[in-house]
Homo-oligomer: A and B are copies of this chain.
Amino acid sequence: MHFANYVEERGRPLSLGRGEHLFRQGDTSGSVYVLREGLLKAYYLSDDGRENIKSFIQPGELIASLAAVYTGEDCSFGVVCLEPSLIVELDFDALLAETRRDLVLAAEMLEHLLDFSMKKERREREFLTDSAETRYRVLMGRSPELFDQVTQKDIARYLGITPVALSRIRKRSAES
């Protein structure tokens, strides 16, 4: 069975309004979510209340706390809705069990994971090798839509800097 069909058959549709949470950091969760429409934000909350953004989730993408669904830990991050969203919820254990019976599904899950891994590798690389300013320019080039969809504050927290620092970077690049 193809993943799309599996989602169709076994998924539970969900609809979230701006500001509502799909799950929160510290929750337990056994679900994987597919975003159909809207926009989500995955973020870490540190002890002192600071927010760092792990990723923005666009329609068509999957989101789950791997540590939570796969090893049973608490969610290491939360997911909140930035724009009214349509989401489909899947039970991870059932999905994993199905991949053990279905070659087509297993192959597609492998593809998804490979894509996911490559994205994570790219982001890891950017943090390791690029300055904040470079990361900003790369992001602008790759996902200009983001700048219309989310606040500059969230962009900054995604880049790993403060809103103040991002404002300075923008000023610098506007001048040059």
A76 within 8 A of B: yes
Interface residues of A (CB under 8 A from B): 44, 46, 50, 52-54, 66-67, 70-71, 76-77, 96, 99-101, 103, 106-107, 109-110, 113-114, 116-118, 120-121, 123-125, 127-129, 160
Indicate which residue in B46, B107, B125, B129 contacts A106 across the interface (CB closer than 8 Å): B107
Do A124 and B127 touch (CB < 8 A)? yes
Main secondary structure of the interface of A (DSSP, over half): helix
Given A110-B113, A113-B114, A125 contacting B44 (CB threshold 8 A): yes
- Given A76-B125, A99-B110, 20 additional A-B pairs, CB 8 A: A44-B125, A44-B129, A66-B114, A67-B121, A71-B118, A96-B110, A99-B106, A103-B103, A103-B106, A106-B107, A109-B110, A110-B113, A113-B114, A113-B117, A116-B117, A120-B124, A123-B124, A124-B124, A124-B127, A128-B160
